[in-house]
Structure 1
Amino acid sequence: MTSNRKSPHELRSARWLGPDDLRSFGHRSRLMQLGYSEADFMHKPLIGVLNTWSELNPCHSHFRERAQDVKRGVAQAGGFAVEMPSISVDESFTKPTSMLYRNMLAMEAEEMIRSHPFDGVVLMGGCDKTTPGLVMGALSAGVPFIYLPAGPMLRGHYAGKVLGSGSDAWKYWDERRAGNISDAEWLGIQGGIARSAGVCMTMGTASTMTAIAEAMGLTLPGASSIPAVDSGHQRMSADCGRRVVDMAWEGLTPDKIVTASAVHNAAIVAMATGCSTNAVVHLIAIARRAGVALDLDMLDELGRTTPLIANVRPSGKDYLMEDFFYAGGLRALMKQIDARLDTSCLTVTGKTLGECLEGAEVYNDDVIRPLSNPVYAEGSLAVLRGNLCPDGAVIKPAACDPKFHVHQGPALVYDSYAEMKKAVEDENLAVTPDHVLVLRNAGPQGGPGMPEWGMLPIPKALIKQGHRDMLRISDARMSGTSYGACVLHVAPEGFVGGPLALLKTGDIVRLDLPNRRLDMLVEEAEIARRREAWVPPAPHFERGWGWMFSKHVTQADKGCDFDFLERSFGRAAGEPDIY
């Protein structure tokens, strides 16, 4: 693409800094106020470094240093880098859920890019919602960008056992509830399960979404699986800075990269990795921002035909992301399935995906399996339909006991998380392993924000009997590090009058995974009667961000973006006039 390189006066930043007028005088003088001379910024690509670092986001605790690595790379390539903070939407501390603020990050990123004189942008993210939020906003802004993934943390350790963040927290919490873990052991697990900077080292939402970004062509080759504290991550960060300068000269805008084929590639790779169920919501939202048609049925078809070959928890049994990296990382996995991918797709490198995969090797074929020996013959996600979820629901078949793939039992229905939590801790709760736990009013509007409540706790009464799984249904999401027979993202959600709102305790619920069905075995006339009697719950918000969120968020099957931000709503605003 070097033959089409821009000249300095064609740079986007030149429209801010170049003219001999009063406004541009102001721009230049304010940069000089910051200590820069014209030699620093004139006739160079101005690169924005959008950093989601926060002292309450342990996944990004290394980003202060990585931003300096990026800026070093930009300077080496002849660009001028400026770092700007972005909302961190951390997963660890935000209540009720960081998902409530994914669209805020997307709006912030879009408007920051559009309103500032950036010729190119490096997006620094990794924690669950930061990848989709940043990518969604940058896609709408349309300026050349490259995504820098935070990378997974190191393996957890305690008492000679390897721990996986999230996955082992749920596992050992059940043992704690059963009385099998002492206070001292619990404290040891607490201190050993997350022991470095970086995102969860299981194939949770964070590593799923960074893998999706790489498969879509938005990262440097292999960037998504480098451990956060590996020196290779520092080198990759500097490489991002160097490469984005060339992207700015080349005019390599995201619309040339995020095509229908690139989105299709990302969906296939997600399935092959044993992806988080959250990938469904985020990938659909990203696709709709790019004007690409992607729906639940298309994802289910890919789920039926794509084998899961990454033996990484929670869908895999034995390994973590550090092992995945040493086994060859995402490039090696994509090389295994390259016949299923469109390798002609362009990437941020300026090369095709196929060129980026040249030389990739698998170094441990138990971590990254060959197609002849998959972890699970079908992909990691399945989409259900039925009278409980006419617009769809999602389940992760590989992460639950196969005995629940076809299951029928009476419902235990709860209207709130607090009600459900109190009930499952009651050791005298009348519940059997055949019951179906149901939580409603936990979707996009009901949660609010669709919290990760979908891995409903096994009732203590069953825990003490030795049971560790049962069928659970909700309109919530669940952590990508979670597992079990959990049906999620029921749409429409109960809070807006979806069929889940009409289910009653004692109703028989049937899951038929092979036929992709989820139904309540209730007569249609009775369902109609209940619908007539249903009264909408009071809204959560009367003002502010929450009010806007509740008025404009779409349902899970549409990606939970705001309706007015999708490509179909209208043309994105152009660059502001320079005055």
Structure 2
Amino acid sequence: MGLAPEDQGRPKIAVVNTSSRLGICFSHLDGIAELVAEAIWEAGGLPFEIRTTAPLDFVTSAGRKARYLMPTRDLIVNDIEAAVEGAVLDGMVCLSSCDKTTPAHLMASARLDIPSIIVPGGYQRGGKYSGCSVDIDTVYESVGAVNAGSMSVDQLGQLADSAIQGPGVCAGFATANTMHVLAEALGMALPGAAPIRADSKRMRALAVDAGTRIVGMIHEGLTARRVLTVEAIENAARVAMALGGSVNCVRHLAAVANEADLGIDVVGLFESLGKDTTQLAAIRPNGTAQVWDLERVGGVRAVLRTMLPMLHGEVLTVTGRTISDHAVEGPEADGAVLRGLDDPVRPEPGLLIVRGSLAPNGAVVKVAGAGNARRRFTGPAEVFAGEDAAIAALSTGGIAEGSVIVLRGMGPRGGPGTVFAASFVAALNGAGLGGKVAVLTDGELSGLNRGLVVGQVMPEAADGGPLAGVRTGDTITIDLDTRVVDADPVRHGEPVTSGRPEHERGWLGQYAALVGPVEQGAVLRRPAPAD
């Protein structure tokens, strides 16, 4: 391997490169990995590049109705454990890009409790089409316009050709950018790391800094669990609600807390902290500002400075300094892209936890993206076993205004692996029905989704949750003011699955047997002992 004997006494550091040539999301990470490795070497460490599976939501979702997406998060965690702990490496720098990679890297850091730094992979640039700014979000929702007959497939192709102008994750404030931001809010990424344009000069410089810093963390004994505390999770939850982050961040933060053995109820945490947290920004798809506007006004550092009176400023970060230390060095809120605490975008958090007879353990509503949807929505249920049937009904005019579309049996255990409900929601918006119907699901949503959508319904239908008992025609009420989601009548049904978990072979079968409840982060756990 070309290593001299004296080199082998250096701290041994993994450069975890979740990269693949399957998609643009992480196409730049190989070059970033080289920069990080060079910086580690120059700082006195011995770098080893570690490759893991690399899920990309727009690609990995193509097979099996996206059943592999959520399971790949935990596959990455186990992959890192085997490679890093098995080789007794001293620390790691994780290059995080698409939706599942950042939470996976945070989870692995918490599990292994070694010095760790997250390097967010950054967002991709959008483009222009017919004189309008477009990005992958525009393409995503335009599928609904094709289904509705208002756009041709050729036009969709031309739009897609214009929408992506560089590497990186979806340009909207969806799951990937949300988790990049939360990595910094947790203290696990260097200050200024999010949001950031992929492969930009600034991103490359921060990657070099991370390579240098990880060596210092090893010498200082600064491990991940000294950063990933209960207070850090609370800070991240506040930031997620203030920015109107992806609904998926709730289960990902719960998974990080679970891996760190913090013993906290993260869903309940969002619920309690949401009582006095307000939304301070409206980044696309929640509003008209773009994610690069948030970078321009100071990114997470500006958010932390603005929110510091509500945060645990004493939380330690990977720099060895506190959140408060970095917050006071950030710029003040500009008042347009990022509002102050006394002038919020809306007087409530961008993410709400709702409960009721249909979701006794909670569900998540991204009110930041609800647009002009009614605050109280009551309508008859239209129950579908999966997204395909619902999209087919939409394309034939079978979705009635005023109805509540129920997509169930699509959670981690029921899929198995969370099954896509996101494309149906995007198609609704593309067809102009986004504010005219509501959606209730235990399936996989995208952070790009807009409209009145109640997601991550807990318990999932496969665990016998009340969602399993809903029938077409039942009355469902969603009330955002009282934070309630109820059904009339309330009935309990047999567990409902969209797939056949007991017949799955390979990874999905193993996942179905091991995955825990969504409210605990849907992490893998040992099967309960037989009676």
TM category (shorter chain) comes to over 0.9
- Is the CA contact (8 Å cut-off) linking 1:110 and 1:138 kept in structure 2? no
Show the 5 A alignment for 1:59-208. Answer: 59-94=25-60, 95=63, 96=66, 97-166=68-137, 168-208=138-178
Secondary structure of the residue aligned to 1:404 is: coil
CA contact (8 A) 1:393 1:487 kept: yes
Instruction: Give the corresponding residue for 1:406.
Output: 376
Matches within 5 A, 1:12-23: none
Determine if the alignment matches structure 1 residue 504 to structure 2 residue 471. yes
Q: What is the aligned-residue identity percentage?
A: 31
Work out whether 1:219 is the aligned partner of 2:189: yes
Higher mean Cα deviation, 448-457 or 389-398? 448-457
- Look up the equivalent residue of 1:84 and give its one-letter code: I
Per-residue deviation, 1:170: 3.9
Deviation per residue, 1:108-163 (Å, 9 max, x gap): 11222211132211011121000111211121111111111101112332222122
Letter in 2 for 1:249: H
Equivalent residue runs for 1:421-432 within 5 Å: 421-427=391-397, 429=398, 431-432=399-400
Of residues 506, 511, 519, the one that matches 1:549 is 511
- 2:424 equivalent in structure 1: 456
Do 1:404 and 1:470's aligned partners in 2 also have CA atoms closer than 8 Å? Answer: no
State the shift of 1:536 in Å: 10
Structure 2 distance, partners of 1:232, 1:466, is: 41
Give the match for residue 4 of structure 2: 37
CA distance in 2, matches of 1:501, 1:142: 39
* Length-normalised TM-score, structure 1: 0.85
Deviation at residue 480 of structure 1 after TM alignment: 0.6
Instruction: Indicate if the aligned counterparts of 1:153 and 1:197 stay in contact, CA closer than 8 A.
Output: yes
- In the alignment, the residues of structure 2 paired with residue 228 and residue 259 of structure 1 have an alpha-carbon distance, to the nearest angstrom, of 29
Name the CA distance, whole Å, in 2 between partners of 1:535 and 1:100: 16
SS of equivalent to 2:275: helix
- Residue identity in the other structure for 1:440: R
- Contact kept? 1:200, 1:206, Cα under 8 Å: yes
How far apart are residue 363 of structure 1 and its match?
Answer: 7.1
Contact 1:404 1:471 in 2 (8 A): no
Q: Max radius of gyration: which structure? A: 1
* Alignment check: 8 A CA contact 1:311 1:366 kept: no
Among residues 344, 349, 363, which one is paired with 2:314 in the alignment? Answer: 344
Unpaired runs of 5+ in structure 1?
A: 1-33, 570-579
What is aligned with 2:17? Answer: 51
CA contact (8 A) 2:241 2:351 kept: yes
> Is 1:384 the equivalent of 2:346?
no
Which amino acid in structure 2 is aligned with residue 152 of structure 1? Y
What's the CA shift string for 1:313-353, capped at 9, x where partnerless? 122x1121111111111101111111111111111001111
Pairing 1:270–2:232 present? no
CA distance in 2, matches of 1:66, 1:263: 28
Deviation at 1:174, TM superposition (A): 3.1
Look up the equivalent residue of 1:240 and give its one-letter code: A
Is 1:434 matched up with 2:385?
no
Shift of 1:534: 8.2
Task: Please tell me whether the aligned partners of residues 401 and 469 of structure 1 are also in contact (alpha carbons under 8 angstroms).
Answer: no
SS at match of 2:346: coil
Shift of residue 452 of structure 1? 3.6
Residues in 2 aligned to 1:563 and 1:67: alpha-carbon distance in whole angstroms: 32
Moved more, 318-327 or 467-476: 467-476
How much does 1:224 deviate? Answer: 2.0
TM-score normalised to structure 2 length: 0.93
User: Partners of 1:253 and 1:173 in 2: how far apart?
Assistant: 45
Size of the aligned set, in residue pairs, is 523
Instruction: After TM superposition, give the deviation of residue 464 of structure 1 in Å.
Output: 6.9
What is the SS of the residue equivalent to 1:88?
Answer: coil
Q: Secondary structure at the match of 1:240?
A: helix
1:252 is matched with which residue: 222, 228, 242?
Answer: 222
Instruction: Give the CA deviation at 1:183.
Output: 4.7
Contact preservation (8 Å) 2:123, 2:196: yes
- Which residue of structure 2 lines up, in the alignment, with residue 326 of structure 1? 296
Structure 2 residue 460 is matched with structure 1 residue 493:
yes
| Matching residue's letter, 2:2 | G
Instruction: Give 1:60 shift.
Output: 0.9
Instruction: Give 3-state SS (helix, strand or coil) of 2:136's partner.
Output: coil
Alpha carbons 2:95, 2:119 under 8 Å: kept = yes
Deviations 1:248-277 (A, max 9, x none): 111111121111111111111111111000
The secondary structure found in structure 1 opposite 2:356 is: coil
Q: CA deviation at 1:295?
A: 2.8
How many angstroms does 1:451 deviate by? 3.0
Rate the CA distance shift 1:122–1:318 in 2: closer, same or farther, 3 A: same
Residues 364, 541 of structure 1: alpha-carbon distance in 2 compared, 3 angstrom cutoff: farther
CA-CA distance at 1:35 after TM superposition: 1.6
